[in-house]
């Protein structure tokens, strides 16, 4: 990670991350911990959360896990209360739980479509709503993890396009509603990020991955650490006048449209 943040930047602060044991989200969590934050990790499996918390503590950080499915508001509410009881009021919430798979709309089941909407869209709302009472103070920050599909229509991604577009509108709406309370709400939009389950599903061969990378203005996949850096910036005082923003970290993928993605996804659904 670039040495662009001062040590202790988040000392004394509590950051809660949904999907916190997952690929990109775990890197985000670990980086917040390295810069002093106490971590509350939320995910479906307690054993994975415990393992992630152990890794963070090995690096000298502070972390705990509380199991909940973001689709289950009552469970999520209980998890937030558990974390608040042990770590105190929240300063940062990262809504990172997500689901995706390539599928043509004409062949996708209603259950499959609903599953992604429930994880991405309902899960983001549930996370923000359950955390609200623990976040309700000036200086708090919410960062929702979005996707290029929110603004770039892509074949074989109707469920994600719909869900993430909703996430970005939740970001803007909460920024309006919660701004007077001093809570900032922004979205981070990761593009193609290397070594993630999502990109492995969408570009399952090295040829497909290379074709997509070459179509990007920066001609490479992003790194998980680069998403972590942007998330940390938006949570920090350096961004204290930024709210309601949807910020790409995508190597320019939103600029070139869906053509390269469509070619890759077409191969993935054959």
Q: Which of 21, 31, 38, 146 is catalytic?
A: 146
Lookup result for tokens 């509350």: 40
Q: Is 109 a catalytic residue?
A: no
For the record, the structure tokens of 105 come out as 């709309």
Residue 202 to residues 67, 190, 254, Cα–Cα distance (Å): 28, 14, 16
Q: Give 139's contacts (C-beta < 8 A, 6+ positions apart).
A: 91, 182, 237, 240
CA dihedral (53, 55, 58, 59) positive or negative: negative
- Please state at what angle helix 206-215 crosses helix 259-268, rounded to 10 degrees: 170
Lookup result for tokens 């996370």: 127
User: Do 139 and 91 form a contact (C-beta atoms < 8 A)?
Assistant: yes
Q: Is 164 a catalytic residue?
A: yes
Q: Which of 31, 38, 164, 224 is catalytic?
A: 164
Instruction: Give dist(CA 120, CA 96) in Å, integer.
Output: 8
The residues assigned a catalytic role are 146, 164
């Amino acid at each position: 990670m670039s040495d662009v943040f001062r040590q202790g930047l988040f000392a004394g602060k509590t950051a809660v991350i949904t999907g916190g044991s997952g690929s990109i989200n775990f890197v985000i969590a670990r980086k917040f911990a390295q810069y002093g934050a106490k971590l509350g990790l939320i995910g479906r499996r307690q054993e994975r959360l415990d393992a992630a918390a152990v890794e963070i503590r090995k690096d000298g950080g502070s972390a705990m896990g509380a199991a909940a499915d973001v689709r289950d508001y009552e469970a999520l509410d209980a998890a937030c209360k558990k974390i608040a009881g042990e770590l105190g009021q929240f300063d940062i919430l990262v809504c990172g739980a997500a689901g995706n798979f390539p599928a043509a709309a004409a062949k996708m089941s209603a259950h499959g479509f609903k599953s992604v909407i429930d994880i991405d869209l309902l899960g983001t709302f549930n996370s923000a709503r359950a955390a609200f009472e623990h976040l309700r103070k000036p200086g708090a920050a919410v960062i929702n993890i979005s996707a290029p599909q929110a603004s770039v229509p892509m074949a074989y991604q109707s469920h994600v396009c719909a869900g993430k577009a909703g996430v970005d509108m939740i970001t803007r709406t909460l920024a309006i509603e919660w701004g007077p309370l001093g809570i900032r709400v922004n979205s981070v939009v990761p593009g193609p990020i290397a070594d993630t389950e999502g990109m492995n599903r969408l570009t399952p061969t090295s040829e497909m991955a290379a074709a997509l990378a070459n179509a990007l203005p920066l001609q490479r996949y992003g790194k998980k650490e680069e998403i972590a850096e942007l998330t940390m910036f938006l949570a920090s005082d350096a961004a204290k006048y930024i709210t309601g923003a949807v910020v790409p970290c995508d190597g320019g993928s939103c600029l070139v449209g869906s053509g390269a993605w469509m070619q890759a996804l077409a191969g993935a659904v054959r």
